[in-house]
A and B are shown apart, each in its own frame.
Chain A
Amino acid sequence: MVLQVQIKKKLGEFQLDVSFEMEQEVFAILGASGCGKSMTLKCIAGIETPDEGRIVLNNRVLYDSQKKINLPPQKRKVGYMFQDYALFPSMTVEKNIMAGMGKKPDIKLVQRYIQQFCLTGLEKHYPAQLSGGQKQRVAMARMIASEPDLLLLDEPFSALDTYLKWEMEQEMRDVLAKVGKPVLFVSHNRDEVYRMCHKVSCINNGRMEVVEPVKEFFHNPKTRAAAILSGCKNISTAEVIDETHVKAVGWNIILTIPYQSEAGRIKSVGIRAHNFHKDREEAKKNISSENRLQGNVVQKNIEQENIAQESMIEENVFQIKEYRILEDPFEWNISFRVDEQSGWIQWKIAKREGEPLEIPKELYLKSTDVLLLEER
């Protein structure tokens, strides 16, 4: 176990209550803004002090409220990359990198970092003269040059525009793979997390909910908050009818689901906006089983898939009574509902050149594509 965290801290209205363990891996904390993600990182780095709990890094106790241990940030060996990078404005790139290398930095080593992070030629520049991507490289180099045991990245790409973000993300992935240190990655961007991280947890109202492998988290979210964070656009509270049927209260529709022996646990259902089919036959084919098995799918699901494969899966039918269309650059966003009183459901479909959008009378959804959520 590389890092063990178990902390509580009162934060204005709500209580931050976080506990998790991580290995040598890239571990993501997803959450809406203001949910306590950054505060968690600050407590680990020693910038903020929790009210109670324990933080252990590589068998070193960084914080223990019972034993009254609270190492200052200087002694924790935890690197922190700030959202705005927090480069020292009065120091050159070179001096910034040397800032964490002790009293007498090894000049050759400094040169190596400058090369490794593609900063050659910028040694004497000040942060105000750098572009966003260069600033991030300096921040990264500075953090790694201080040789921390753990890297904390606080929304590392939020200050970059989308075009640059893509490039920096790839660089960051290479760097992280090269340095081989455990990384705690805080973000509210699900795509980033999906591409960069191994494990995901989500914080909802200060509480840490699930800790799961990243693929499983996105393909099969277990809680309402996790479903929202994984990008699910349609969520409704559910009433269980029997082991294979639930009523989605918000949409006023009864959904067929794969057999659930413990159906009582289902409190909400979710539907991803791009999972609807126009073609009824498509919705009956059971091709999703292969996709699903790529992740670390639990044993129960595999059995389900097998049953489903033998008998064709059932499809759900949505009558479109009313709809609204929103046009995005590359896709259509259609909101529809099955009658005038119920809630809107979002459907996304990719644009095809030269093909006008046709709204069908009915949409179909695989029973296996209904996300079954516990409202933990």
Chain B
Amino acid sequence: MEQVITYIEGLDWSPLLISLKTGVVATIISFFLGIFAARKVVKAGPKVKALADGILTLPMVLPPTVAGFFLLLIFSLRRPFGSYLYGTFDIKVVQTWLGCILAATVIAFPLMYRNARAAFEQVDVNLIYAARTLGMSETTLFWKVVVPAAGPGIASGTILTFARALGEYGATSMLAGNIPGKTSTISQRIAMVIQDGDYATAGFWVVIILIIAFLIIFLMNLITSKGMKNIRRW
């Protein structure tokens, strides 16, 4: 028992903090961007829709390393855009926490976007018509009528986005690297210690991530089921 306590006391807790922070920030960004993109795509004509949908969904189907490759291509300090960002705004993406967020956002965003889009498309169009004849502006009706009616879909999209962002590995390791205390997320730490044969530390982090993932989904389910009491159960 004492062994366990001293082991935990001596542990570097930074991966937990980095993972949580990355997950939360990436989810918040994806939430708004995803809803915004979904709204635009739902309103677009069929051709624009097909094209935009393809581009926006791509990061979800591609291997994360491919997304990482493209991100490096854009943000590497040896590339025009990356060096411009660094030179002009002093913004460095590669090997920084910003890189973690960017990688996690790119990979998790399609989950938010697709769920939001599917939810919007299922909203009863008469609700929108009714809101318009009642004089509601397009923005008001979107936030007061469409988003609540699409609530369950948006909520599940948010849960999945967070879960995906929390565990992101491939693109993150390429873009942000694995710098302890800076960009080393839980999944990166697991991969690293396994290479050293340290199964005890890997197992510990596996348990932590299992608990977090389960807790989040459990809590979100509770919250959404409360919010959905006015929607019929079947």
Residues of A near any B CB (own CB < 8 A): 42, 45-47, 72-80, 82, 84, 86, 88-91, 99-100, 102, 126-129, 142-143, 146, 148
Contact of B130 among A46, A82, A128 (CB under 8 A): A82
Say yes or no: is B59 at the interface (Cβ < 8 Å to chain A).
no
CA distance A46 to B134 in the complex (A): 12
Judge whether A88 and B126 touch: CB under 8 Å.
no
Contacts A89-B149, A90-B230, A127-B230; A84 near B135 (Cβ below 8 A): no
Contact of A80 among B124, B133, B144, B145 (CB under 8 A): B133
CA distance A161 to B142 in the complex (A): 33
Judge whether A99 and B136 touch: CB under 8 Å.
yes
B residues in contact with A148, CB < 8 Å? 133
A residues in contact with B134, CB < 8 Å? 79, 99-100, 142-143, 146
Contacts A82-B129, A126-B230; A90 near B148 (Cβ below 8 A): yes
Say yes or no: is B56 at the interface (Cβ < 8 Å to chain A).
no
Contacts of B80-129 to chain A: CB distance below 8 A: 124, 126-127, 129
Contact of A86 among B130, B136, B144, B230 (CB under 8 A): B130
CA distance A100 to B232 in the complex (A): 25
Contacts A86-B127, A90-B151; A79 near B230 (Cβ below 8 A): no
CA distance A143 to B230 in the complex (A): 22
Judge whether B230 and A128 touch: CB under 8 Å.
yes
Considering the complex, give the chain B residue whose CB is closest to the CB of A98.
Answer: B134
CA distance A271 to B65 in the complex (A): 79
Judge whether A90 and B129 touch: CB under 8 Å.
no
Considering the complex, give the chain A residue whose CB is closest to the CB of B137.
Answer: A74
Judge whether A100 and B230 touch: CB under 8 Å.
no
B residues in contact with A79, CB < 8 Å? 133-134
Say yes or no: is B210 at the interface (Cβ < 8 Å to chain A).
no
Contact of B135 among A82, A91, A102, A129 (CB under 8 A): A102
- Residue in B124, B132, B135 with the greatest tally of chain A CB atoms within 10 Å: B135
Contacts A88-B145, A88-B149, A142-B134; A73 near B231 (Cβ below 8 A): no
CA distance A99 to B135 in the complex (A): 9
CA distance A127 to B131 in the complex (A): 15
Min C-beta distance of A13 to chain B, whole Å: 22
Judge whether A73 and B129 touch: CB under 8 Å.
yes
Judge whether A76 and B133 touch: CB under 8 Å.
yes
Judge whether B230 and A129 touch: CB under 8 Å.
yes
Specify the main secondary structure of chain A where it touches its partner. loop
Min C-beta distance of A152 to chain B, whole Å: 8
25 residue pairs bridging A and B, Cβ less than 8 Å apart: A47-B132, A72-B132, A74-B133, A74-B137, A77-B135, A82-B126, A82-B129, A82-B130, A84-B126, A86-B124, A86-B126, A88-B127, A88-B131, A88-B149, A89-B149, A89-B230, A99-B134, A100-B134, A100-B135, A126-B230, A127-B230, A128-B230, A143-B134, A146-B134, A146-B135
Min C-beta distance of B27 to chain A, whole Å: 22
Besides A79-B133, A88-B131, A99-B131, 9 other A-B contacts (C-beta < 8 A): A79-B134, A80-B130, A84-B126, A88-B127, A90-B151, A100-B136, A126-B230, A128-B232, A146-B135
Min C-beta distance of A74 to chain B, whole Å: 5
CA distance A126 to B131 in the complex (A): 17
Min C-beta distance of B46 to chain A, whole Å: 18
Judge whether B231 and A89 touch: CB under 8 Å.
yes
Min C-beta distance of B138 to chain A, whole Å: 8
Considering the complex, give the chain B residue whose CB is closest to the CB of A42.
Answer: B129
B residues in contact with A77, CB < 8 Å? 135
CA distance A46 to B130 in the complex (A): 11
Judge whether B132 and A73 touch: CB under 8 Å.
yes
A residues in contact with B130, CB < 8 Å? 80, 82, 86, 88
CA distance A346 to B19 in the complex (A): 79
CA distance A143 to B231 in the complex (A): 23
CA distance A99 to B144 in the complex (A): 9
A residues in contact with B144, CB < 8 Å? 88, 91, 99
Considering the complex, give the chain B residue whose CB is closest to the CB of A74.
Answer: B135
Judge whether A45 and B126 touch: CB under 8 Å.
no
CA distance A143 to B135 in the complex (A): 11
Min C-beta distance of B79 to chain A, whole Å: 46
Judge whether A47 and B131 touch: CB under 8 Å.
no
Min C-beta distance of A296 to chain B, whole Å: 33
CA distance A80 to B126 in the complex (A): 10
CA distance A79 to B131 in the complex (A): 10
Considering the complex, give the chain A residue whose CB is closest to the CB of B133.
Answer: A80
Min C-beta distance of A268 to chain B, whole Å: 38
Min C-beta distance of B41 to chain A, whole Å: 21
Contacts A74-B136, A126-B230; A86 near B148 (Cβ below 8 A): no
CA distance A86 to B129 in the complex (A): 9
Considering the complex, give the chain A residue whose CB is closest to the CB of B148.
Answer: A90
Min C-beta distance of A104 to chain B, whole Å: 13
